[in-house]
Amino acid sequence: MRVQLAVLSCAAAMLALIATPTLGQKPGVKTTTAPPTSATSGAEMYASYCAACHGKDGKGNGPAAQALKQPPTDLTTLARSNGGKFPGILVAHAIAGDADLSAHGSKDMPVWGPVFRALSQHDQAVVQLRIANLTKYVESLQTK
């Protein structure tokens, strides 16, 4: 249980990065817990877990973006950058934390697999549902 809480706290800390610079200070990190969301709603999960960095529109312009070492990926151009085909498997692996994203910049993005396992009481079917629905939502953000 302590490991679950630590994972949730670490991921939530990354999730809750906020850009609140005060005179001469860099944006900081606000620690919070990951809020529960519906596993069936990719939009709700995106708003709760991704929009702080990637922005509501997925362009990488969320309020926490300026606190990161490297700008978040513009999620709206994933298909365009992949020859017009949305890289769903890569996105799902990135969300779960299974992908090596070193070629895509820093490791600022939290690994959501352990967080989703904790939120889903380790029900692997629910974890996979979360990842699939969040991936589908990111696919819906693609520019035409």
* Separation of CA 144 from chain center: 22
Query: Residue 5: its pLDDT value, please?
Result: 37
Query: Residue 27: its pLDDT value, please?
Result: 60
Low-confidence ranges of the chain (pLDDT < 50): 1-22, 103-105
For residue 28, the 8-state DSSP code is E
- Coarse DSSP helix, strand, coil percentages of the chain, rounded to the nearest 5 percent: 50, 5, 45
For residue 60, the 8-state DSSP code is S
Query: Residue 108: its pLDDT value, please?
Result: 65
List the one residue out of 33, 30, 62 whose CA is nearest residue 46: 62
User: What residue spans define the domains of the chain?
Assistant: 2-140
Q: What is the pLDDT of residues 89-107, one digit of tens each?
A: 999 999 998 876 654 445 6
DSSP 3-state of 17:
strand
List the one residue out of 28, 116, 105, 32 whose CA is nearest residue 72: 105
* Residues counted in the chain: 144
CB of 90 within 8 A of CB of 101?
no
Handedness of CA 101, 40, 29, 67 (dihedral sign): positive
Helices 124-140 and 88-96: angle between axes, nearest 10 degrees: 130
Query: Residue 125: its pLDDT value, please?
Result: 97
CB of 23 within 8 A of CB of 5?
no
Query: Residue 24: its pLDDT value, please?
Result: 54
Query: Residue 34: its pLDDT value, please?
Result: 86
DSSP 3-state of 29:
strand
Query: Residue 140: its pLDDT value, please?
Result: 98
- Total-model pTM: 0.79
Whole-angstrom distance, CA of residue 70 vs CA of residue 133: 26
